[in-house]
């Protein structure tokens, strides 16, 4: 880790031996200002470039869509920070964040081998701020 105090720093733990060969773990975090998404809510073309139809439908069905778009965007950015390495790149529109039946956020990687990563995600937001924290195990 270059700078342990820097906001949105990514910690990578590599070369951990397991019974199945080499395993790695990385984390990512991102925070967003909800007000940035107030205007984006009405820009359907931009929404389609960043979010899937399921994500758009979910967020637009909520009382304050900006909060939900902001927290999902933060989640996508945190996933990118945790996964993107010299060997692997994932783009924002290939990450989908939905909720399971219990209401917990679930990450779907829409390209590559979906079983390659075990992604754990925590999302939270207030009226002003959205934050996401991700742990990725390879």
Tens digit of pLDDT for each residue in 72-96? 999 999 999 999 875 678 899 999 9
From residue 126, alpha-carbon distances to 33, 63, 130 in Å are: 10, 13, 6
**For residue 4, what pLDDT band results from cuts at 50, 70 and 90?**
very low
Residue 114, pLDDT score: 65
Indicate whether 100 pLDDT > 70.
yes
Indicate whether 8 pLDDT > 50.
no
Q: Tell me, what DSSP letter sits at residue 55? A: H
In percent, the amount of the chain with pLDDT more than 90 equals 69
Instruction: Report d(CA 55, CA 115) in Å as an integer.
Output: 21
Q: Is the dihedral of CA 82, 84, 85, 88 positive or negative?
A: positive
More confidently predicted of 65 and 9: 65
The verdict on domain 23-137 having CATH code 3.90.470.20 is yes
Instruction: Report d(CA 106, CA 98) in Å as an integer.
Output: 5
């Amino acid at each position: 880790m270059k700078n342990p105090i820097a906001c949105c720093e990514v910690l990578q733990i590599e070369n951990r031996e397991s019974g199945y060969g080499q395993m790695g773990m990385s984390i990512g975090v991102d925070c967003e200002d909800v007000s940035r998404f107030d205007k984006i809510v009405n820009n359907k073309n931009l929404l389609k470039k960043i979010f899937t139809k399921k994500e758009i439908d979910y967020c637009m069905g909520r009382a304050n869509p900006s909060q939900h778009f902001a927290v999902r965007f933060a989640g996508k950015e945190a996933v990118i920070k945790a996964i993107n390495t010299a060997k692997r790149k994932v783009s924002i529109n290939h990450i989908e964040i939905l909720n399971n039946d219990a209401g917990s956020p679930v990450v779907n990687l829409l390209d590559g081998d979906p079983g390659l990563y075990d992604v754990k995600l925590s999302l939270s937001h207030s009226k002003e701020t959205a934050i996401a924290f991700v742990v990725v195990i390879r």
